[in-house]
């Protein structure tokens, strides 16, 4: 007769294990993940005995998508290698895009500078010193035309990290594509358009939450009819994780935000199955390898259940959590920057083992500045090594069924759900953000993390242990101060050459739509086509919606 | 008995990455200082006014967007114009090493680089602020 696992486990614990522990204690009394989950020494079939294969894991491409969202996963097509890039002028960034595509990148990802993200033109007083610094400066359709010059938009998908001004940048992209002769129904890409997490972390909001949510749902409605293959939102845990929250909090806060968007869209009159399949997600991949893999699997299962059970989605596609991953910027160290290459490789591998749809790998020099051409190529090569040499892309969800991975997947799902239920009792994500709850949770975790590092309870190689005497990294990317002047001159030229009467008329139409209940996206599209500036469009909406101030 | 050191932690410019600023604010508070955090998106004028109004000994500026060369010196300059040059100004964030000499020349007394510990910053403030 087969031996009983429980009896055998107890025998092992009391005989073999006990003998070893009596001679030498383990390194720590308790081993915990970043989410404070106390890890067992060993996971066995006993830890997964309660799980039902068909209900809890299922098969790839099927509800609840624990094992992946596509039936063939990377055997069919590799994840999209999508390096987030943008700096200085559209002219310079266009060159970087062509460089990345030449080296085998398969999708584009646009980083905009802060004035563009917050709705100020390059000549605004608050833009001084910020133009072109953290991304590319876009003032008018003219800049968008330069940014994508010579890039085949019918072949390359484009992701844009843009939130408060997402409607403006999306419509500029559509108008520019039309000029290139590419129809909007073939365009593929993503706008981040996740304003809620901007109040919780990173802070590129303009308008108050409710008015911002109206723009978000207007975009959903517009894209459903005009840009059907576009991901209308990328519900992002990345920035909250970078601001310091744990893996469990990342899943919980992201999905709580996701619930708020679905509710808002349903309230705006949209049928859940008409937009849910265009919702995408964006997560961070940090250092703790197994916890991160489990996190992605847990998020997929949790979202699938919420969509089906709570929102009564009928289509499987509506329940599918598709996501982009970026390795953790906050894990990079300025000390011994070559160590970052190794960190990023492990994080990227975890993202792939977790089933990501697209991936950005950070560069070794990003604790100093935006990456140089050489370092971004090495980051891209890291993905290519995983894809073509490691073999992990040749089978589906290879860690599925691991006792530890499945147990942690279940634990993360359970703990995330507890957070989500708590947020529900507060009235949902918007209320939890307005009350500062989510911000406080993030700040508390960030502080604890820093204290652990300083107390050496958490070892960061090269930072608090294994240090060397070293010189700071040289040869980092610098944004020339002339960029600001160049953008301002170009903007002045556009304003001089355009038909200003048409601009005034377009902005007046937009204002009326904003004051009423009409969808604001079509009038924004008309305004960008006549070269109204990003700042002018944002100011028009500021007049109607007001501005949000941090509490 | 020495009075408590008063610190203003501020985020100049459009950058919203406030993890570092909040961690420092909390650490200084835990070290017994009185700390005011401005929140994000402050102009140099707002920061200088808040520093004077709150009668602080120290201003800590945090920026990760690369706008420090424009924004940090302006804070010092306005403090000087308002006859508050006795307030110690230090900074931190993503700041290339080669920018540090010019920032120091402009009156930012110390720049803390990525990887600096909160202990370093607490110690620096204690050594450089007179509280008697």
| Beta pairing partners, A81 | A359
Of B67, B71, B114, the CB nearest to A334: B114
Pairwise CB contact (< 8 Å): A202 & B41:
no
Secondary structure tally for chain B: helices H, strands E = 5, 5
Distance of CA A12 to the CA centre of its chain: 44
pLDDT value at residue B1: 59
Beta sheet of A189-191, edge-to-edge order:
A84-85, A107-110, A157-160, A189-191, A230-231
User: Smallest CA–CA separation between A81 and chain B, in Å?
Assistant: 25
DSSP state of A136: B
pLDDT value at residue A474: 83
E-strand stretches of B2-131? 6-10, 34-37, 58-63, 88-93, 110-112
Of B23, B71, B96, the CB nearest to A446: B23
pTM for the model stands at 0.96
Pairwise CB contact (< 8 Å): B27 & A450:
yes
**Neighboring chain B residues of A443 at a CB cutoff of 8 Å:** 19, 22-23, 26
Mean of the pLDDT values across residues A340-350?
98
Touching check for B66 and chain A: CB below 8 Å?
A: yes
C-alpha dihedral, A54 to A57 to A60 to A65, nearest 10°: 110
Is the model's pLDDT at A372 over the cut of 80? yes
pLDDT band at A3 (very low <50, low <70, confident <90, very high): confident
User: Smallest CA–CA separation between B58 and chain A, in Å?
Assistant: 21
User: Smallest CA–CA separation between B26 and chain A, in Å?
Assistant: 8
pLDDT band at A1 (very low <50, low <70, confident <90, very high): low
Question: Cβ distance B43 to B51 under 8 Å?
Answer: no
> Which residue on chain A is closest to B99 by alpha carbon?
A478
What percent of chain A has pLDDT above 90?
A: 96
pLDDT digits (tens, 9 = 90+) for B71-103: 999 999 999 999 999 999 999 999 999 999 999
User: Smallest CA–CA separation between B127 and chain A, in Å?
Assistant: 20
Tokens of A495: 């304003």
* Residue labelled with tokens 């993030």: A442
Pairwise CB contact (< 8 Å): A367 & B119:
no
Mean of the pLDDT values across residues A365-387?
95
| Beta pairing partners, A315 | none
E-strand stretches of A59-186? 80-81, 84-85, 107-110, 157-160
> Which residue on chain A is closest to B44 by alpha carbon?
A126
Spatial distance between the Cα atoms of A325 and A19, rounded to a whole number of angstroms: 44
Distance of CA B112 to the CA centre of its chain: 10
Of A126, A335, A550, the CB nearest to B39: A550
Is the model's pLDDT at A21 over the cut of 80? yes
Of B18, B65, B69, the CB nearest to A134: B65
Beta sheet of B34-37, edge-to-edge order:
B34-37, B6-10, B58-63, B88-93, B110-112
Of A243, A335, A479, the CB nearest to B19: A243
Pairwise CB contact (< 8 Å): B96 & A333:
no
What ipTM describes this predicted complex?
A: 0.96
Opening angle at CA A312, ends A309 and A315, nearest 5: 110
Question: Cβ distance B93 to B103 under 8 Å?
Answer: no
User: Smallest CA–CA separation between A443 and chain B, in Å?
Assistant: 7
pLDDT value at residue A436: 95
Touching check for B99 and chain A: CB below 8 Å?
A: no
Q: Which residues lie closer than 8 Å to A443 by C-beta, 6 or more apart?
A: A243, A244, B19, B22, B23, B26
| Beta pairing partners, A110 | A85, A160
**Neighboring chain A residues of B40 at a CB cutoff of 8 Å:** 203, 550
Spatial distance between the Cα atoms of A139 and A117, rounded to a whole number of angstroms: 11
E-strand stretches of A459-498? none
Touching check for B123 and chain A: CB below 8 Å?
A: no
Pairwise CB contact (< 8 Å): B96 & A369:
yes
C-alpha to C-alpha distances, A89 to A108, A134, A149, A371, nearest whole angstrom = 16, 11, 13, 16
* Residue labelled with tokens 């109004």: B53
User: Smallest CA–CA separation between B118 and chain A, in Å?
Assistant: 8
What percent of chain A has pLDDT above 70?
A: 99
Touching check for B102 and chain A: CB below 8 Å?
A: no
Closest residue by Cα to residue A514 from A546, A545, A551:
A545
User: Smallest CA–CA separation between A373 and chain B, in Å?
Assistant: 18
**Neighboring chain B residues of A478 at a CB cutoff of 8 Å:** 96
Q: Which residues lie closer than 8 Å to A350 by C-beta, 6 or more apart?
A: A285, A289, A292, A293
pLDDT digits (tens, 9 = 90+) for A189-204: 999 999 999 999 999 9
pLDDT value at residue A214: 97
Of A129, A447, A472, the CB nearest to B26: A447
**Neighboring chain A residues of B113 at a CB cutoff of 8 Å:** 334, 472
pLDDT band at A473 (very low <50, low <70, confident <90, very high): confident
**Neighboring chain A residues of B44 at a CB cutoff of 8 Å:** none
Size of interface A-B (CB pairs under 8 A): 89
> Which residue on chain A is closest to B119 by alpha carbon?
A454
DSSP reduced 3-state for A365? coil
pLDDT value at residue A312: 98
User: Smallest CA–CA separation between A80 and chain B, in Å?
Assistant: 27
φ/ψ of B96, rounded to 5, equals: -60, 145
| Beta pairing partners, B92 | B62, B112
pLDDT value at residue A339: 98
Of B22, B97, B119, the CB nearest to A446: B22
Mean of the pLDDT values across residues A339-368?
97
Opening angle at CA A132, ends A131 and A138, nearest 5: 85
pLDDT value at residue B131: 74
Give the orientation angle of helix A373-388 with respect to helix A90-102, to 10 degrees: 30
Of A133, A202, A333, the CB nearest to B66: A133
> Which residue on chain A is closest to B39 by alpha carbon?
A550
User: Smallest CA–CA separation between A164 and chain B, in Å?
Assistant: 13
């Amino acid at each position: 007769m087969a031996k009983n696992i429980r009896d055998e486990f107890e025998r092992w614990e009391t005989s073999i294990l006990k003998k070893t522990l009596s001679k030498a204690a383990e390194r720590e009394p308790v081993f915990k993940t970043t989410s404070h989950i106390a890890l067992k020494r060993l996971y066995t079939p006993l830890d997964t005995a309660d799980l039902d294969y068909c209900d809890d894991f299922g098969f790839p491409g099927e509800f609840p998508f624990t094992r992946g969202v596509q039936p063939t996963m990377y055997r069919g097509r590799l994840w999209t290698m999508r390096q987030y890039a943008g700096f200085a002028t559209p002219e310079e960034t266009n060159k970087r895009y062509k460089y990345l595509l030449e080296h085998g990148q398969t999708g584009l990802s646009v980083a905009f500078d802060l004035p563009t993200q917050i709705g100020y033109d390059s000549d605004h007083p608050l833009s001084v010193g910020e133009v072109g610094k953290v991304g590319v400066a876009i003032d008018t359709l003219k800049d968008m035309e330069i940014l994508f010059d010579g890039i085949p938009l019918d072949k390359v998908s484009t992701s844009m990290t843009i939130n408060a001004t997402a409607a403006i940048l999306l419509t500029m992209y559509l108008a520019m594509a039309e000029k290139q002769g590419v129809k909007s129904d073939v365009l593929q890409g993503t706008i981040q358009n996740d304003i809620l997490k901007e109040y919780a972390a990173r802070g590129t909001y303009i308008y108050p939450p409710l008015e911002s949510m109206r723009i978000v749902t207007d975009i959903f409605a517009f894209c459903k009819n005009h840009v059907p293959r576009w991901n209308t939102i990328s519900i992002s845990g990345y920035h909250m994780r970078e601001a310091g929250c744990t893996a469990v909090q990342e899943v919980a806060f992201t999905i709580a935000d996701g619930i708020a968007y679905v509710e808002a869209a349903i309230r705006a009159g949209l049928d859940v199955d008409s937009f849910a399949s265009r919702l995408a997600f964006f997560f961070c991949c940090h250092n703790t390898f197994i916890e991160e893999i489990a996190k992605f699997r847990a998020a997929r299962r949790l979202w699938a259940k919420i969509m089906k059970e709570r929102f009564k989605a009928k289509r499987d596609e509506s329940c599918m959590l598709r996501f982009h991953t970026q390795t953790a910027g906050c894990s990079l160290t300025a000390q011994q920057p070559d160590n970052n290459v190794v960190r990023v490789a492990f994080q990227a591998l975890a993202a792939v083992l977790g089933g990501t749809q697209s991936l950005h790998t950070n560069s070794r020099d990003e604790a100093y500045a935006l990456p140089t051409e050489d370092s971004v190529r090495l980051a891209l090569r890291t993905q290519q090594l995983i894809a073509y040499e490691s073999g992990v892309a040749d089978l589906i969800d290879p860690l599925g069924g691991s006792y530890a991975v499945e147990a942690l997947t279940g634990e993360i799902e359970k703990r995330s759900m507890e957070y989500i239920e708590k947020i529900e009792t507060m009235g949902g994500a918007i209320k939890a953000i307005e009350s500062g709850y989510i911000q406080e949770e993030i700040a508390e975790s960030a502080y604890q993390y820093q204290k652990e590092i300083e107390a050496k309870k958490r070892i960061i190689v090269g930072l608090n242990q294994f240090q060397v005497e070293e010189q700071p990294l040289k040869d980092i990317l610098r944004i020339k101060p002339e960029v600001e002047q160049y953008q301002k001159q170009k903007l002045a030229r556009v304003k001089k050459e355009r038909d200003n009467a048409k601009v005034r008329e377009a902005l007046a139409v937009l204002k009326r739509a904003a004051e009423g209940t009409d969808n604001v996206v079509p009038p924004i599209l008309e305004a960008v086509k006549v070269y109204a500036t990003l700042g002018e469009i944002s100011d028009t909406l500021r007049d109607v919606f007001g501005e949000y101030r941090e509490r | 008995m020495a009075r408590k050191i008063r610190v203003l932690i501020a985020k100049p410019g459009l950058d919203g990455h406030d993890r570092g600023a909040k961690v420092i604010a909390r650490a200084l508070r835990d070290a017994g200082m009185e700390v005011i955090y401005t929140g994000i998106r402050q102009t140099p004028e707002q920061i200088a006014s808040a520093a004077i109004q709150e009668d602080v000994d120290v201003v800590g500026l945090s920026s990760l967007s690369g706008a420090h060369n424009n924004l940090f010196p302006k804070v010092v300059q306005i403090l000087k114009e308002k006859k508050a040059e006795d307030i110690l100004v230090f900074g931190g964030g993503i700041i290339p090493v080669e920018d540090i000499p010019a920032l120091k020349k402009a009156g930012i007394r110390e720049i803390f680089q990525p990887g600096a510990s909160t202990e370093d910053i607490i110690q620096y403030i204690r050594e450089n602020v007179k509280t008697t």
